Structure 1
Amino acid sequence: MADANPLLSPATLPYGLPDYREIAPEHYLPAFEEAFAEHRREIDAITRVRSMPTFENTVVALERSGDLLGRVARTFYTVSSADATADIQQIEETLAPLMAAHNDAVQLDSALYWRIATLHERLDELDLDAEQRYLVERHYREMTHAGAGLDDAEKERLTELNQRLSVLTTTFEKNLLADTNDLAVVFDDAVELDGLTDGELSAAAQNAADRGLPGRYVVTLTLFTGHPYLSSLTDRESRRRLLEASRSRGSRGNEHDNRDVLREIVRLRAERAALLGYSSHAAYVTSDETAGSPGAVHDLLRRLAVPAARNARAEAAALQAIVDAEDEPFPIDAHDWAYYTERVRAAEYDLDRTALRPWFEAERVLQDGVFRAATELYGITFTERDDLLGYHPDVRVFEVREADGSPLGLYLLDLYTRDTKRGGAWMNSIVSQSALRGTSPVVVNNLNVPRPAEGQPTLLTLDEVTTLFHEFGHALHGLFATVTYPHFAGTNVFRDFVEFPSQVNEMWILWPEVLASYARHIDTDEPLPAEVTEKLHASEAFNQGFATSEYLAAAWIDQAWHSLGAEEAAAVTDVADFEASALADIGLDNPLVPTRYSSTYFAHVFSGGYSAGYYSYIWSEVLDADTVEWFTENGGLARANGDRFRQRLLGVGGSKDPLEAYRDFRGRDAEIAPLLARRGLA
């Protein structure tokens, strides 16, 4: 079987990179079936041991188990998120309940749980180092949290819930991808797209040609509610069409409608939480995060919502004043916000962000910005490996080496949007580092940058530059985590901590020596003018009322859905009414500031891993802003600073309580004042 299926043998390429050229869709399900069976045999071998549990015969054996399943799963899910052809989507739908059932079979195994619980009870008697002790604690906590302590009838119902939820979340993502593709906005004439750059216009023309619409223009939608083009399109009707299409995803009453899907997800998550002894899904999730409880999350969100809403109202008044001064004034609408924001920015700061793209050529941003900052901070270097191929022709592969030339891992970049790729941007691991298994990291960054026409340069917006630096921060976390046990590998940390390293990496975007290196005009090679940089710094808190409000609104919607008990969840019949009521409750029901994600296309929480956890970004940003202050006070882009951050935070992966690791790095707990100042909320 291994001879016929390349997934069943260890990869022979460097660093364990799968040879995707040899893998066909029909290989995946048989490989999963064999991997499930092998993992089950490995677990059975642990639980059949007659001697009392020891760290070696139980925990180490558990860490060694599931190697084949991990390899197959990481290989497949990399493709299913970034190149989800019809065949791959069908496999994912079939696989979802099988994967859920297998995970439950392991996590809810009574004999395995007894062995882990026995070790946990005797923890102080065992001769374990700090990582080993924490590993026992986490296995016990996670199995308990998963329901391993339930009786057999309760476990049976829990397994049914988990399998059904796995199907529903897969359906949600499939519906969203299909509706996002269907709702791409078609324009007949370039006049309708006045304000776009030549590169943006060529990308829209290429999109149309790819869809069999030569001579027309197609603007694809982003994952979030807004769109980068809203800030530059001069035609108000074009802006309206673009925002309307975005906001209608998953709620049009067609075969891709997600309203019933998400309502069932919410109801079943609430039922599962009750079964596990929690008042709500939010209570269940936050109990095993750094936040600890929904109350702590709600307190932070409410504290920030009041000044954010106030600032947004003031920003709206400034926008309306600009419109009122025009020959034909009108009441501004949500689709006007980004466009007139740039007008206000130009008036107040003499700054046009939409005109900055010629300074942000993608290759230069990558090589002389993202990579250079990492080299300066950590000493690592990047060499493109044209001999290594990824899962799609767009994917580029880079070998990463330490300052002394020793190998560290591989970094894959998949920059461009395509119809088979889900929206947004993300990082994932194909291979995770583990000393126990002798593996080195292979990490992937995915973005959704529109591809220009053949021969045209890829020019990024400042937001896309920010996204690339952000996702690369996740990649560094995955590359640097140096642990013994695979359970702690890479970014396997609490959800409300995982965004912290990526947010910190954004600080280098405007750091003087980094900016001077990568921000050079595509035609003249002139650096971004110093006065423009000064204006960017001066305007950092500009429009933060809108930005903070749209984010907090989405985080609150997530909390509102997942704070419902089972009966309350079952009583919700209208998704739009529920959203409106939730936003009014926190004072973020401003029609000019749509929530960053509405429920029917909120992939983070209904098909991703952020359910009841979308607050994580702002929660982590408290640590981020405090860390940026530390770097600034200690000399910024310096190897000593990078080494400290790497050794005490990035390098520990999940092998240490994250807030303890932060205190080790910072010397104290994080303070919120730098975040309030950054967002203009003080």
Structure 2
Amino acid sequence: MKKTLFILATSCMMYSCSTTPTESNNPLLSEFTTEFGAPPFDQIKNEHYEPAFEKGFEEQNQLIKAIIDNPEEATFENVIVALDNSSPLLDRAGGVFFNLTSADNNDELQAISEKVLPKLTGHGDNIYLNEDLFKKVNDVYQKKESLNLTTEQLRLLDNTYKGFVRSGANLNPEQKTHLKEINKELASLGLKFANNLLGEDNNYKLYIDKEEDLAGLPAAYIASAAEEAKAAGQEGKWLVTLHNSSRLPFLQNADNRELRQQLFTAYINRGNNDNQFNNKEIITNIVKLRLEKAKLLGYDSYSNFVLDENMAKNSQTVMDFLSKLWDYALPNAKAEAKELQEMMDKEGKGEQLEGWDWWYYTTKLREAKYNLNESEIKPYFKLENVREGAFAVASKLYGITFNKLTNIPTYNTDVEVFEVKDSENNHVGLFYVDYYPRAGKSGGAWMSTYRDQKGDIRPLVCNVASFTKPTADTPSLLTLDEVTTLFHELGHGLHGLLTKCNYAGISGTSVARDFVELPSQINEHWAMEPEVLKSYAKHYQTGEVISDELIEKIQKQATFNEGFRVTELLAAAILDMNLHNLTEVDENLDVVAFENEAMNKLGLLKQIPPRYRTTYFKHIVGGYAAGYYSYLWANVLDADAFQAFKENGIFDAETARKFKENVLEKGNSEDPMTLYVKFRGAEPQLEPMLKDRGLL
């Protein structure tokens, strides 16, 4: 998820730079002159990034010096707003660079990251640990009650002050030096972790050379696997990878149990293999350093340090919440496992259910119970149609339109760009979509920004995913999960696009981690509504609208396998919390052994690993440390919020207006629960979420 570049830059080193030979033709060094201020990817070269960051450090240092040296009385405008506006070049360069290192990485960009990140980390430390600057911030903060500030301004002031305190502004000089060392090392370890995971994903290739080993796989999947093998120089074979769009269909459909086991085992052991991509020591050191940092800042654990800024407020609240859900989820997962084992027993092979069997027999069981097969419905979910359906929902709800542009530069031919306009034809922002997997792209799906909204400056927002690629004969056809993911990420996109804040530091998705998933997860609810399905689910060959019979089947199986889904998600959330709840870390901590012990204590079924195991849990190395619970926390919010639409009509204009004005437009300008209550009229209830998940 996106952070404003001010926050990114300030978690990161004051650095001076001299004029370089490339300055005159470096497009990152000045405001982009392209239409809408879009990044000129056709002009930006790798050699432009380092000079741009160096100049960005210099620029921000000068602007901060001006704040400190200003002889006038410290005010909200000349300190807090000036600080919020102090990193234009870093925001511009970082917005491009860090999106590319996630979506289209390569060895050269990785090498630049290894140079730039320590400097960014130190630059941020030097800002937050600057005593003279903090004195100015504190002067404004101490007299905030007399400043007649708006709610939004008070929020920015509070967040800025807390940001300094939480970054060590009140520490003594020796402690500040130590904190800088910790932050620098954490930045380096995080980069190594991510690069190792990308390397592991790209390194693994399962080549199949016997046609009989393809039994059970859909024809479209086989064709795609053949094209992938050909592109890798292995024509005549079929290539299976660890990307979701390749791995999951194989686990769901391949009859060859031995190959399923091989693929499944490779996936769940990423980062834990005896090779150059091993992440065990890295994540162990991250956990140790985070605890050291938390204690330095006055907290007993890293989780309580993180959660102090979230809706949940503390670790105990989160653990109680997860424990309550666990009591609902695990019995459902056990019942599902029993049903799958019974199906296996009927085959008479004497096999016991394992992790590599779960998706395969779940697919068979769903077909048996609901007469529904993924290959039967995928032809109705052509990617372009699903995307247009998601756009149409946003248009109906919020009065916006998406118009494809062909004159905006992109970094890859897969990327498409849309101009978003409001009901009065005013420009809202640009929306980039990048949907197909590639070697340089991280796994999963996400939303980010190239430029954040601030006042009259409109945002540049992107959605990135790794959906099934089209083949020579077949367009990209999505699974039900991929359809939901597309709607989910667009929900994040709407949060970034529709925001109406005056300050970048609190606009868009710069909200509490356990609130940020509300706009994304509520947007998922429209994807499978019959009225919506009929608008976009059309057979890619015939144009036939999906039938009522198929819609009924889809809806009947909506909570099928939810015991598994919630249990694996909960297991990952609890693992995350266990790692960051530690108040002491043994010098010889083995994170894999720690994970196994924690999962055994939970009673997690052996067939269900946590959704992310420790050595490839990229969320907790990034922005979701002690925060992976947020998906479930926000699930309570989104299920309760969607009830308002169900009660009044899923496209009810007044309900949509209240959600737009109180959630999507507000960013972090008010307390999240205050915003939620303004929309809903009351705090959220748990029951709608439990019903939604089929756990009651």
Same fold by TM (over 0.5)? yes
User: Residue 261 in 1 paired to residue 276 in 2?
Assistant: no
**What is the match of residue 593 of structure 1?**
608
Deviation digits for residues 117-151 of structure 1 (CA, Å, limit 9, x no counterpart) = 22222111112111111111111112111111111
2:622 paired with 1:617: no
Amino acid at match of 1:661: L
Distance 2:261 2:219 in 1: 22
Give 1:2 shift.
Answer: 4.2
Paired residue for 2:542?
524
1:377 aligned residue = 397
* Letter of the structure 2 residue corresponding to residue 195 of structure 1: G
Letter in 2 for 1:140: Y
Structure 1 residue aligned with 2:451: 431
Q: 1:447 — aligned with what? A: 465
Q: Which of 563, 566, 570 is 2:587 aligned to? A: 570
Partner of 1:485: 503
Corresponding residue of 2:295: 274
Q: 1:223 to 1:289 in 2, by over 3 A?
A: farther
1:651 aligns to 2:651 (yes or no): no
Secondary structure of the residue aligned to 2:434 is strand
Q: Report the TM-score when normalising by structure 2.
A: 0.95
Corresponding residue for residue 598 of structure 2: 582
Q: CA deviation at 1:238?
A: 2.2
Paired letter, 2:437: T
Q: Deviations over 1:407-446 (max 9, x none)?
A: 11100000100000010000000011111xx411110000
8 A Cα contact 2:23 2:51, kept in partner: no
Whether the 8 Å CA contact 1:263–1:569 is kept in 2: the answer is: no
Whether the 8 Å CA contact 2:445–2:463 is kept in 1: the answer is yes
Residue 397 of structure 1: CA displacement? 0.6
User: Matches of 1:630 and 1:226 in 2, distance apart?
Assistant: 37
Query: What is the DSSP-based 3-state SS (H/G/I as helix, E as strand, rest coil) of the residue aligned with 2:419?
Result: strand
Task: Give the stretch that moved more between structures: 110-119 or 309-318.
Answer: 110-119
Match of 2:327 among 295, 306, 328: 306
AA in 1 matched with 2:685: E
CA drift of 1:663 comes to 0.6
- Aligned-partner Cα distance in 2 for 1:5–1:280: 44
CA deviations over 1:249-291 (Å, ceiling 9, x no partner) = 1111111111111111111111111111111111110111111
Equivalent residue, structure 2, for 1:640:
654
Question: Among 406, 418, 423, which residue is 1:386 paired with?
Answer: 406
Q: Which residue of 1 aligns with 2:480?
A: 462
Task: Verify the 8 A CA contact 2:39 2:409 in the aligned structure 1.
Answer: no
Structure 2 counterparts to residues 116-515 of structure 1, below 5 A: 116-222=137-243, 227-367=248-388, 369-435=389-455, 438-515=456-533
Give the aligned residue type for 2:681. G
Percent of counterpart pairs with the same letter?
Answer: 40
The one-letter amino acid of 1:541's match is T
Residue 82 of structure 2: which of 61, 72, 80 is its match?
61
Provide the C-alpha distance between the structure 2 equivalents of 1:269 and 1:227, rounded to a whole number of angstroms.
34
Task: Tell whether the 8 Å contact from 1:203 to 1:452 is kept in structure 2 after alignment.
Answer: yes
Match of 2:16 in 1: none
SS at match of 2:688: helix
SS at match of 2:195: helix
Counterpart contact for 1:193–1:238, Cα < 8 Å? no
1:557 paired residue number = 575
Mean Cα deviation higher: 423-432 or 194-203: 194-203
For 2:667, the aligned partner's letter is G
| SS across alignment from 2:576 | helix
1:582 partner amino acid: A
Corresponding position of 2:619: 604
Give unpaired runs (5+ residues) of structure 1.
none
- Tell me the number of residue pairs that the alignment of Structure 1 and Structure 2 aligns: 675
1:386-410 Cα deviation digits (max 9, x unpaired): 1112121211011111111111110
How far is the alpha carbon of 1:330 from its aligned partner? 1.3
2:28 corresponds to 1:12: no
1:200/1:452 contact within 8 Å kept: no
Equivalent residue letter for 1:516: K
Cα separation, partners in 2 of 1:433 and 1:80, compared to 1, 3 Å: same
Deviations 1:531-558 (A, max 9, x none): 2212222222221111111001111111
Residues 467-501 of structure 1: CA deviation (Å, up to 9, x unaligned)? 10000000000000111011112111011111110
Deviation at 1:173, TM superposition (A): 0.4
Query: Who is 2:677 aligned against?
Result: 663
- Counterpart residue type for residue 612 of structure 2: Y
Q: Which residue of 2 aligns with 1:31?
A: 52
Report the 3-state secondary structure (helix = DSSP H, G, I; strand = E; otherwise coil) of the residue aligned with 1:397: strand
1:604-652 residue CA offsets vs partner (Å, 9 max, x unmatched): 112x211111111001111001011111001112333322211111000
Query: How far has the Cα of 1:571 moved from its partner?
Result: 4.0
Contact 1:388 1:397 in 2 (8 A): yes
Secondary structure (helix, strand or coil) at the match of 2:352 reads coil
1:19-98 map, 5 Å: 19-98=40-119
The secondary structure found in structure 1 opposite 2:430 is strand
1:628 aligns with 2:642: yes
TM-score scaled to structure 1, two decimals?
0.97
Q: Residues of 2 paired with 1:225 and 1:302: CA distance?
A: 33
d(CA) in 1 for partners of 2:634, 2:302: 21
CA distance 1:652–1:137, change in 2 (3 Å)? same
- Offset of residue 225 of structure 1: 12
Aligned residue for 2:518, secondary structure, equals: helix
